[in-house]
Amino acid sequence: MFLTFEGVDSSGKTTQAAILVEFLRARGDAPVHFIREPGGTAISERLREILLDRSNLELSELTELFLFSASRAQLVSQVIVPALARGEIVVCDRFADSTTAYQGYGRGLDLEAVRRINGVATAGTEPDLTVLVDITVGEIEARKNAAGGAKDRMESAGREFYERVRRGYLAIAREHPERFVVIDGIRGVNDIAQDIRRAVEQRYGQPHREEK
Ligand code: TMP
């Protein structure tokens, strides 16, 4: 079973992914891999450093697209495909929908080109379920201000960028209702976690047993 979490920065998706992983591990159906993008392998983590480094001002939008995709190609071949082949559970904090939302809708790169590059980088591997934790752009700003600290290269993009990314995510979710669950992220952590757990159980109540 392959589950992905998506959402704009500060949406709380990483917290929610961790809570779900804890729940799935406690259930003990199958080993659970918890990985993040960009990252999850030594090579992908190095690409992440380049992508998020605020001093890399000259990084072009196309290079950004290819580096996120390169990181993903490595993660898919080294971790995701082998784990799924063994019948294990993979929970990934971000996946190809991030590239469609951020580089496609956010940066304005050609959506058809992004779709094709995503298909190559993932070798056609698609999540069984994608949880989109949706928050407003006003909420992103409030959370970032409350948290303080320096913004990374991606987070330094402005409000309009995040409006486009959020709209992009909602458009992708509408295009793929069979795999997306859209969760209102402006609520208490426990309420959100409960909704996500319910969605996973509704769709894949006994995931490991289906594969035996
Ligand atoms: P994170 O904050 O969830 O760890 O993600 C790192 C940043 O990279 C975040 O701002 C979203 C961005 N990103 C993209 O722009 N495209 C992608 O394909 C991925 C995976 C992340």
157 or 120: which leads in pLDDT: 120
Is 99 close to ligand 1, i.e. is its CB under 6 Å away?
yes
Is 134 close to ligand 1, i.e. is its CB under 6 Å away?
no
Domains located in the chain, CATH noted: 2-203 (3.40.50.300)
Indicate the pTM of the whole model: 0.95
CA atoms of 144 and 137, how far apart (whole Å): 11
Is 169 close to ligand 1, i.e. is its CB under 6 Å away?
no
Say whether pLDDT at 211 is over 70: no
Average of per-residue pLDDT across 78-95: 98
Separation of CA 152 and ligand 1 centre (Å): 10
Whole-number pLDDT of residue 29: 93
Residue 206 carries which side chain, given as an amino acid letter? Q
Nearest CA to ligand 1 atom 8: 154
Q: Which atom of ligand 1 is nearest to the CA of 106?
A: 15
Long-range CB pairs of 172-178 (<8 Å, 24+ gap) are: 172/97, 172/100, 172/101, 173/130, 173/132, 176/130
Separation of CA 82 and ligand 1 centre (Å): 24
Q: Which atom of ligand 1 is nearest to the CA of 154?
A: 10
Whole-number pLDDT of residue 206: 55
* pLDDT tens-digit readout, 143-190: 988 998 888 888 888 899 999 999 999 999 999 999 999 999 999 999
Closest by CA to 12, choosing from 190, 199, 200, 202, is 190
Is 68 close to ligand 1, i.e. is its CB under 6 Å away?
yes
CA atoms of 152 and 130, how far apart (whole Å): 25
* pLDDT tens-digit readout, 44-78: 999 999 999 999 999 999 999 999 999 999 999 99
Strands 32-36 and 180-184: unpaired
88 pLDDT band, cuts 50/70/90, is very high
205 pLDDT band, cuts 50/70/90, is confident
**Peptide linkage before 82 cis (omega within 30 of 0):** no
Say whether pLDDT at 212 is over 70: no
* pLDDT tens-digit readout, 191-204: 999 999 999 999 87
Average of per-residue pLDDT across 22-32: 96
Whole-number pLDDT of residue 210: 45
Q: Which atom of ligand 1 is nearest to the CA of 14?
A: 3
Is 154 close to ligand 1, i.e. is its CB under 6 Å away?
yes
Separation of CA 135 and ligand 1 centre (Å): 16
The percent of residues in the chain predicted with pLDDT above 70, rounded, is 97
The interaxial angle of helices 189-204 and 13-27, nearest 10 deg, is 50
Is 69 close to ligand 1, i.e. is its CB under 6 Å away?
no
Is 98 close to ligand 1, i.e. is its CB under 6 Å away?
yes
Strands 180-184 and 89-93: unpaired
The percent of residues in the chain predicted with pLDDT above 90, rounded, is 89
Whole-number pLDDT of residue 156: 83
Nearest CA to ligand 1 atom 16: 99
